[in-house]
Each structure stands twice: as C-alpha cells, then as structure tokens.
Amino acid sequence: MREKLKRRLDYFRRFLLELLRLYTTKPINRSSAALCYFLVMTFFPLIILLYTMLGSSYALAMRGIRMLEGFVAEGTLKTITDFVRYVAMNVNQSMTVAAGVVLVGSASAGVRTLQSGIGELQGHQRYQGVFDLGFSILFSVILVIAIYASAVILVTGRQVIDFVNAHIPFVDISVSWDSLRFLVLALIIYLLLLGVYKFSRPVGERYHTHVGAIFSTIAIVAVSYVFSAIIGNSARYPLVYGSLASMILLMMWMYTSCIVIFLGAAVNIALRNVKRELRERRNREKQSGEASGRAQQPCKK
C-alpha cells in the first residue's frame, strides 16, 4: 500500500514538473494572445450570424443573453446587449453575408493559431499547409453550427422542461433551468474542447485528451464566475477606463480563457510525456535485468 502511494506521488510530481516545463518553455502566453485577437474578430460577426439564424427575433436573442448571466461579467453582457440592439435595428442581407465572410476568415485563422500552439506543445502539428487551411475552414463551419445548436438549447431549455412535466405525467423534472444552464454550458464547452484536442493530435498518436478537456472546462467556468463576481463588486472599474471598460473586460475574459485552453492541451501532453518516460524507464530496467541475468548464468563447457 505504501509503495503504491509512493509511486502515485512520484507520478504526480513528475506530471507537475513536466507541466511547469511546458508552460515556461513553450509560447503559451503568445499563442493565447494571438488566439484572443482572432476570437475578438470572430465574436461580433458571430452575434450577427446567430441573430439571423434565430429568425431575427430580438426576444429570443435577449433570452439567450440572459442565460449567460452569472457566467459572463456584467460589463461584457452590456456590450453584447447593446450590439444585439444595434443589429436588430440595422440587420440586412448585406450585413449577414459580410458577417459570414469575416466570421469564416477570422475563425479559421483562430483555429490555425490553436493548432499551431498545440503543435508546439506536443512537438508536431497535425495539419500543415493546404490541409491546415482546409481543416481550419471546415472546423470553423462545424464550430458555428455547434454554437448555433448550443444557443437553441439555451433558449428553449426552459420550454423543454415545462413540456416534459406537462405531457409526461410519470416523469417529473423538478429542476430550475437557471441552475441547470450552468451544467449545460459546461457540457457544451467540454465537447468543443474535446473535439479541438482530439483533432490536434498527430496521426498515429492516441494519447488521452479527456483529462485536459475536463480541466479546461472546470477552469473556464470557475474563471468566468470569479471574474464576473470580482468585476461586479468593483464599482470603480468603469471610472478608470470609461467607455472602453466593457470592451477591455471582454478581451481580458477571452485572453484568460485562451490561456486555460492551452493549459488544458498542456495537461494532456504532460501526461503523455510522463507516461512515455516511465514506460521507457521500465523497459530499460527490464532489459538491464535480463542482461544481468544472462551474465550470471554459468558458462557451459
């Protein structure tokens, strides 16, 4: 029992040291800043496209924004609300087409930045050249579809619960959607991150990615909640930055989330490296033991 605990503590120590090495030697902060830039470029075209895909319904859009309360800082929510109000008054076909073009361009650039950053962490990038461009565009389209489906779930979740309780008498879902929405948001984030990490692995490598996805999901939810609470209790923040406060809050939240995403990838790769190192050490010890055993055998005359 003591020997087993000792091995686990040694494994955890090696993991922490490897994670620290990846963070200090790889450009995680630089990659996070680049990804944050492309996310900001993607953010507002995405709102325009989602608003159109939801049937240009201002009521549905505001209901979806309310689902983010407590998860996103109040200043950021105000920025989103003001922009949705502007889109509702000015949306047209030209704006929607332009938003789609900018969205695909900036989102695909963000995916390539994410692939490149994870590639540097793991020592090899999976997609390169034309394949990298094609994958980034395809994944961007899939991401938009996933975000749209998530928006629909968040908007209609309360109605689904009410429908089940009203039409299926032997099933009782007595749950508050205001509380359940955080679990739904966490599940959506987990699935998106799991897909990103899985499709970033080099061909031929099958190391586990769910640990990093779970870590990043919990960290993003925790960071978002803490960030929202701190900013909500800081009355002087708008006095310092004035009208730029909401935009700065949005960028700070995105940048922190980007760091967490790359840290999740680093967790997966640190686990891979430690397992590989221990496996190689066991193989060396096994080979050394076999060689020592053959050396000790008596020579036949």
- Compute the average pLDDT of residues 106-134: 85
Residues 6+ apart with CB under 8 A from 136: 107, 108, 109, 111, 112, 115, 127
Q: Read off the pLDDT of residues 261-297 as tens digits, 9 standing for 90 and up.
A: 999 999 999 998 888 888 887 777 777 766 666 666 6
pLDDT at residue 171 is higher than 70: no
Q: Which residues, including other chains, have CB under 8 Å from residue 118's CB and lie 6 or more apart?
A: 125, 196, 197, 200, 262, 265
Separation of alpha carbons 66 and 161, rounded Å: 17
CA distances from 62 to 67, 159, 228 (A): 9, 16, 19
Instruction: Say which residue the tokens 């009355």 belong to.
Output: 235
Residue 207 pLDDT greater than 70, yes or no: yes
User: Is the pLDDT assigned to residue 116 strictly greater than 60?
Assistant: yes
Residue 244 has pLDDT above 70, yes or no: no
Confidence check: pLDDT of 202 > 70: yes
Q: Tell me how far apart the alpha carbons of residues 101 and 146 are, in angstroms, rounded to a whole number.
A: 18
What is the band of 214 on the pLDDT scale with cuts at 50, 70, 90? very high
Place of tokens 């799991």: 194
pLDDT at position 162 is 65
**209 is written with which tokens?**
């990615």
Identify the residue with better confidence: 300 or 162: 162
CA distances from 205 to 103, 120, 202, 276, 277 (A): 31, 15, 6, 12, 15
By mean pLDDT, which of 128-132, 194-198, 244-248, 254-258 is the weakest? 244-248
For the chain, give the percent of residues with pLDDT over 70: 74
- 99 near 176, Cβ under 8 Å? no
Q: Is 50 exceeded by the pLDDT of residue 301? A: no
Rounded to two decimals, the pTM is 0.80
Reported as a single tens digit per residue, the pLDDT across 33-66 is: 998 888 888 888 888 887 887 777 777 777 777 7
Sequence spans of domains, the chain: 21-167+176-267
What are 17's two structure tokens? 């040291």
pLDDT grade for 93, boundaries at 50, 70 and 90: confident
The percent of residues above 90 in pLDDT, for the chain, comes to 8
Q: Which residue has the higher pLDDT, 79 or 134?
A: 134
Say if residue 279 is exposed, middle or buried (CB neighbours under 10 Å; 0-12, 13-18, 19+): exposed
